[in-house]
Structures are given as structure tokens and as C-alpha cells.
Amino acid sequence: MSRADLIKVALTYPEGLRIGSFPDATPFAKDAYRVENGLFIAGEGCPRANCPGMYTQRVILHPNVIASVAAVDEEAGIVLLWMNFGYTNSYGPNNALVTFEAFKIWGGEIQAINAFFRILPLETPRFWPSAR
């Protein structure tokens, strides 16, 4: 897939977070799964018993999620997004979930998601401060 097409597919995911569900416009593969901080959370490919499906998992509404592309590997079909999930009153006063999420994409579908996240101040920017 082209770089632009990989990015287009990956960016359907934060749109699902924005509305609180993953519509058909978010193209999960049949065996897609999600890993968060090393733990399988959802998807048909999840080895845990009773994992919810990617389309049926509970999703908190994140209307102010900010997503930006951090890296793309066209050969491997991987898109890395940085996301600040915005204020939802779920992560403590003035805090947000801030993530790096790697999306494995091929055939126009999200095959796997590997997310690393922390709860950080709401104003956490994507960039790193200067060493100056």
C-alpha cells in the first residue's frame, strides 16, 4: 500500500475514538487484535478468553482526541500514531491518556494494534522539549 493509503486507514481509528465506537469505516481484519502496554485487550486474535471483538469493545467517547503521524514504514505496512485522548474526566483532573499506537496494516485492513500509553497532563504536546 502507498504511504498515503496506510495513513488514511490508520487515521480511521482515532475517528472511532472521537465518536465512541468503531463504525464499518474502521477496517479491522477478521483476526485483528489490540495489545495495550503488553496485554492483549480485544479482537479475534486475542489469546485470552472472553476478549471483546474490535467492533464490539467498549470505547469511551474521546471527542477531543488529537492524532498525528509519528512514523510510517511502507515496506512493513506499519503506521505509528501519537495521540492525546483529550479531557474526558476519566484520567483525573487535567489529565489525558497519551499514546503511541502502532498499526499493522495490509490489504487495506488494520491487522493489529500495539499501544503504549501513560496518563499525562492534558497539555502534553507531541514534541519533546529542547535540551537547551
The tens place of each residue's pLDDT in the chain, 132 residues long, gives 999 999 999 999 999 999 988 877 899 999 899 999 999 989 887 888 788 888 888 888 999 999 999 999 999 999 999 999 999 988 999 999 999 999 999 999 999 999 999 999 998 877 766 555
Report the distance separating Cα 82 and Cα 120, nearest Å. Answer: 13
Report the distance separating Cα 81 and Cα 69, nearest Å. Answer: 5
Look at residue 132 in the predicted model and tell me its pLDDT. 59
Report the distance separating Cα 86 and Cα 94, nearest Å. Answer: 9
Which residues sit opposite 118 in a β-bridge? 98
The identity of residue 43, as a single letter, is: G
Evaluate whether the domain defined by 3-121 bears CATH number 3.10.450.50. yes
Look at residue 129 in the predicted model and tell me its pLDDT. 60
For 126, residues 6+ apart whose C-beta sits below 8 A from its C-beta are 68, 70, 82, 84
Give the C-alpha distances (Å, rounded to integers) separating 55 from 78, 119, 125, 127, 129: 21, 24, 29, 31, 37
Other Cβ atoms closer than 10 A to 95: 19
Grid look-up 489525558 returns: 96
Look at residue 128 in the predicted model and tell me its pLDDT. 62
Give the C-alpha distances (Å, rounded to integers) separating 112 from 32, 49, 72: 5, 18, 15
Radius of gyration of the CA atoms of the chain, in A: 15
pTM of the model: 0.89
